[in-house]
Structures are given as structure tokens and as C-alpha cells.
Amino acid sequence: MIAEFVTIPGIILMIGALILSLVPRDLRSSIFLLFPIAALFFVFTRPEGYEVTATLAGLDLVLMQVDSLSRLFGIIFSATALIAGIYAWHIKDLGQQLAALVYAGGAIGVTFAGDFFTLLVFWELMAISSTWLVWARRTPSSDAAGMRYLIVHILGGGILLAGILWHLADTGSLLVETLPQSTNIASILMLIGVAINAAVIPLHAWLPDAYPKATVTGAVFMSAFTTKSAVYVLMRVFPGWEVLTWFGAAMAIYGVIYAVICKDMREILAYHIVSQVGFMVCGIGIGTDMALNGSAAHAYSHILYKALMFMGAGAVLYATGTTKLVELGGLKKKMRWTMIFYMVGAFSISGLPLFNGFISKAMTVDAAGYAGNETAMLMLLFAGVGTFLSVGLKLPYFTWFDKEESDIEVKPLPVNMYIAMGITAFLCVFYGLVPGALYTYLPFQPVDYEPWTVYHLVEISQIALLTFAGFWIFRKKLAGERIIALDVDWFYRTPAPFFRRVFVNAIDNFFGWVEALAFRITDKLVGRFDNPMKWLNPFSKEENHARTYSPPMEMVMAFVILVILVFGIFLVL
């Protein structure tokens, strides 16, 4: 049992975090890479149907369960942890290294969890560890964003836990299973809890708030794990729930609208996570084999190209100290390779031929059409226009072009950053050219889909050319002026000072007043009972000072009663 337990891929990375804390500083970055490699090995070598089980309080737990869907996500999560570890190889901050391993281990653990209790444990470990990747930047804005991020995910985890307990009471089972579409309270609570992690609108504002404020390397890990592990759970538990179709399509459009508006590289990319996850959620809602295969394939592709784009943005931040478009421009000569690698990611997310987005996004869009849902199909196509406009044209133009030459001082990048970007760019192109390498791992076999059709090539070419023409005509209106884009978080940020005054400052001030009152009363009691028998004391004043003094019992009892009274008031409040 112990041997099986320590070979669970998610546990391997958790053990790695423990071992890493004991390793000398100069060896940690290299040893970090061993654990994703080990996890990837066990993901590939465990046979279909393999299980690791346990019992807790009479309930059957499945700590690891392997099938085609879990293997697909396990492969990409383990591979991304390895690539992101290479990108972060120069980082010597132990906190970031431990948090990254625990975070990746949590995502992989969720992927292979066969019961809701195990899933929830890994789910919460993801929330806690990923928060540190925001806080580790150690700026006032990252501190605030990290706290909001943590509060939202604690709320989401609490709602998910409530749904799981309700489900356990209804069914007597914790095993992860597909839930039928219904208005059952347990199912709805679980759906909401997972939807928060998937950044389903209007529960998404934590993502564009926190990701741009994470560390340079932390944002790469975050772009891969939280939302995609939630996509996995939606695919596993809620396939065919029609409500997801429309929320997903709305996410796809909502994200690109904000990406067009925003003027910060990492904020634009963060909103595109919302948009691209919308494609996956929409496919899960449609629920056909083709749609679910499309969502799974697009999640796989998305993790690669989004990690690559965050690597590129992180490289710009590392080299220049900023990701504000208004402060950039003219970097094409100074950061040529970073630009090339980023553009591979940009072409991939735009679904252009020869790149991995081309073989996955189209499957989801076509699945909506084949299912007779033309409205959702058109919404996803419209989102594709905004994708190429914002991250394929606007962002690179105002970062690397726009000016002949930049006067910004550019620091040289560590070699490991280039290596990680190069590996990821190669994979984006490889899967674009050899779609069968991905299709063979999709959950519903055989995959009867051919992306390389004349219709598809003409469609994507028309979208790209017309979008480029529109951008070139209106590019001055998309310039990187400073703006603040208000999102739904306005509804809780705006009244936050009022609630802080009422529920935090007022209560804190009241407790301070009670504490001060208690000290004043205590001082008076001490003075009253200092030595109540001194008028009967036959000794002189000098002799009294020389004697050992013990407070009378009355004073002790009065003080104890006062402490109990104040503590009781505190508990009631």
C-alpha cells in the first residue's frame, strides 16, 4: 500500500517539495526537475483501469484512478510542470519552488482522484500553494491581489465541500461520477464550486486580478493548472449540462472584449484564459463525443500555448521591468527570440494552420455546428476574431514594433528561459503538424475528425486576413494608453471600505475599548487591594517594604472574575 501511495503522480510532487526543503540551495533547481519527470513516467506506465484505494471512516476512497481522460490531463500537467521548472531554473527562492511543486502536485492529484474527498484535499492544496506564487512578488498590489485570490478560492472550496457533503448524504458514496443534469442542490453547489475555479463569468474576476501580479515564473504555473483542473472536473462530472454551453460561449466573447480593452501584457493574457476556457466549457455543455474530445484537446493545446505566451510576457517583464504597452515598443531587435517564441504561442491561440490551436479549437467549434447549435458556433467564431486581434496583433505590435527602436534598458535573459520557451514552441508546432500525436490520447476513440479541410483552411484564412486589415486601419485607437478596465469585481471592491469600517474597524475599536477598560478596572482593583490590612500592620513603613508580600484572596478572585467576564463578552461577540 505504501509503495503504491508514493507512486501516485500528485504525491510524488508533494514528496518532492518535502525533499527540496532539505537540499542545498544551489542544487534545488536541478533536483526540482526530477519530480515532474518521475510523475510523467508513472502517468505513462500505469495501465488503464489501475487504482489505488483506501478506506476512511467506513467510506471507500480511490486515491488514484487511471483512464484515458485522466491520463491525457496527467500527461500535460506533468510535462508543463517540467517545462515551467526549466523556465524557473534560475529562481533560488525556496518558497516559490515548494509552492510550485505542491501546486502542480495538487493539479495532478485532482486529475487522478477517484473520490470527492481526495479531490477536495488536492483542490485546497492547489488554492493555498498558488496563493504564495502571487504573494512571493512582495509588492503591495500582489499582497492585496493574493488575499482576494485566497478568499475567493476558500469560498469556492467551501461551496464545493457543502455540495460533496450533501451528495454523500443523498447517495452514501464519495466516488467521482458523472452527475445527471438536474436541479439537485448538491449537484448545483458542486457545480458552482468548480465553476469558480474555472473562472466562469461572473465568478472570474479573481483571475485577471491575480495572474498579472504573480511572480514572473509563478504566472506560468498558474496559467496551466487552476482553470484546466476545473475543466477536467467539469468534463468528468458535468458533461452535457446545457447551462455550460451558454456560459462557455459567453465567456469566450467576454474574455476577448476585455483583452482588446486592456493595455497590460499579462492582463490581456489573463483575460484570454477566461475566453479560451469558455471554448472548453461550451464543448462540455454540448456533451457529444466530438465536443468532449474537442474540449479535452483544446485544454491540452491551451496549456502549452498559454504557458508559452506567459513565458514571453514574463521575459519582457524580467528584462524591462514592465508589461505596460504604453511603456514598451521597439523591442524587436533587443528581444528577437522572445518575440519569435511568443508569436508561435499567438498563432497557436488564434487557431492558425501549422500550430496546435488549429487542430483543437476547430473541433470544438465544429462540434457546436454538428450538434445543431449554430448560435454557440457563431459566438465561438466571433471570439476567434477577438483572439487574433488582441494577442496576435495588438499585443505584439505595441510590444515589439510601433517604434523604430526602444530606449528601454533590457537585461539579458537567463539561458533556461530560452530553453523552456523553445521546447514549448516546438511542441505547439509539432502537434499542429502531427495532430494524431494528440488525438490518440483523447477520451473517445476513434477520433473521426480531420482539421485539414479546404473549408476549414479558407475559413481561418478569411478570419485572419480581415482581422489584420481591421487592426491596421484602427491600430491608433488600440494604442497603449493607460486605462483602468472595470470588471465585476467593482461590485465588491467599491463597498469594501464601508464593510471594513463596519465589520473590521468598528469591532476592532470596540475590542480595544474593552481591553483599555479592563486594564483601568484592574489598575483600580490592584490599588484597592494593594494591602487592605496595612492599617492593622504593626510594622513600620520600612519594615513593610522589606517583607514578602502576597496579594489577598479577594484581589485574586476579583481579577479572575473580571478576566472571565471580558473573555465571555469576547466569545459572544
pLDDT one digit per residue (tens) for the chain, 573 residues: 677 888 899 999 999 999 999 999 989 999 999 999 999 999 999 999 898 888 887 788 899 999 999 999 999 999 999 999 999 999 999 999 999 999 999 999 999 999 999 999 999 999 999 999 999 999 999 999 999 999 999 999 999 999 999 999 999 889 999 999 988 999 999 999 999 999 999 999 999 999 999 999 999 999 999 999 999 999 999 999 999 999 999 999 999 999 988 888 999 999 999 999 999 999 999 999 999 999 999 999 999 999 999 999 999 999 999 999 888 888 988 999 999 999 999 999 999 999 999 999 999 999 999 998 999 999 999 999 999 999 999 999 999 988 777 778 889 999 999 999 999 999 999 999 999 999 999 999 888 898 998 988 988 988 899 999 988 888 887 776 666 777 787 777 778 788 778 777 888 888 888 888 888 887 776 666 555 555 445 445 555 544 544 555 555 566 666 666 665 665 555
Phi and psi torsions of 59, nearest 5°:
-105, 140
Last residue of a domain, one of 424, 453, 480: 480
- Using CB atoms within 10 Å of the CB of residue 436, give its burial: 0 to 12 exposed, 13 to 18 middle, 19+ buried: exposed
- Using CB atoms within 10 Å of the CB of residue 168, give its burial: 0 to 12 exposed, 13 to 18 middle, 19+ buried: middle
Domain shared by 102 and 132, yes or no = yes
Kindly state whether residue 540 falls inside one of the protein's structural domains: yes
| pLDDT 10s digits, 462-489 | 889 999 998 888 888 777 666 677 778 7
Domain shared by 327 and 475, yes or no = yes
Overall number of domains in the chain: 3
Note down the domain range covering 118. Answer: 1-233
Closest CA to 33 of 80, 72, 70: 80
CB distance 322 to 265 below 8 Å: no
Query: In this structure, what is the dihedral angle of CA atoms 178, 182, 185, 187, given to the nearest 10 degrees?
Result: 20
Domain shared by 375 and 400, yes or no = yes
Place of cell 514552441: 425
How far apart, in whole angstroms, are the C-alpha atoms of residue 149 and residue 152?
A: 5
Domain shared by 28 and 123, yes or no = yes
Domain shared by 424 and 528, yes or no = no
Domain shared by 268 and 209, yes or no = no
| Predicted model pTM | 0.86
Domain shared by 227 and 243, yes or no = no
The 8-class DSSP code of residue 446 comes to S
**In angstroms, how far is the first alpha carbon of the chain from the final one?**
48
Domain shared by 53 and 189, yes or no = yes
Domain shared by 93 and 40, yes or no = yes
Kindly state whether residue 489 falls inside one of the protein's structural domains: no
329 three-class SS: coil
- Maximum pairwise Cα distance, the chain: 114
Calculate the alpha carbon distances from 108 to 32, 93, 105, 222 in Å.
16, 23, 5, 14
- Using CB atoms within 10 Å of the CB of residue 498, give its burial: 0 to 12 exposed, 13 to 18 middle, 19+ buried: exposed
**For position 535, what pLDDT does the model report?**
44
Kindly state whether residue 287 falls inside one of the protein's structural domains: yes
Total length of the chain: 573
Kindly state whether residue 519 falls inside one of the protein's structural domains: yes
CB distance 77 to 63 below 8 Å: no
Calculate the alpha carbon distances from 185 to 182, 246, 272, 305, 553 in Å.
9, 21, 31, 37, 59
Domain shared by 243 and 219, yes or no = no
| pLDDT 10s digits, 192-236 | 999 999 999 999 999 999 999 999 999 999 999 999 999 999 999
Domain shared by 220 and 353, yes or no = no
How far apart, in whole angstroms, are the C-alpha atoms of residue 411 and residue 92?
A: 18
DSSP percent split of the chain into helix, strand, coil, nearest 5: 70, 5, 25
**118-123 long-range contacts, Cβ below 8 Å, gap at least 24?**
118/61, 118/62, 118/63, 119/176, 119/233, 120/157, 120/160, 120/161, 120/164, 122/10, 123/157, 123/160, 123/197, 123/229
Closest CA to 251 of 487, 486, 465: 487
Q: What sign does the dihedral 195-196-197-199 (CA atoms) show?
A: positive
Phi and psi torsions of 468, nearest 5°:
-65, -45
Kindly state whether residue 190 falls inside one of the protein's structural domains: yes
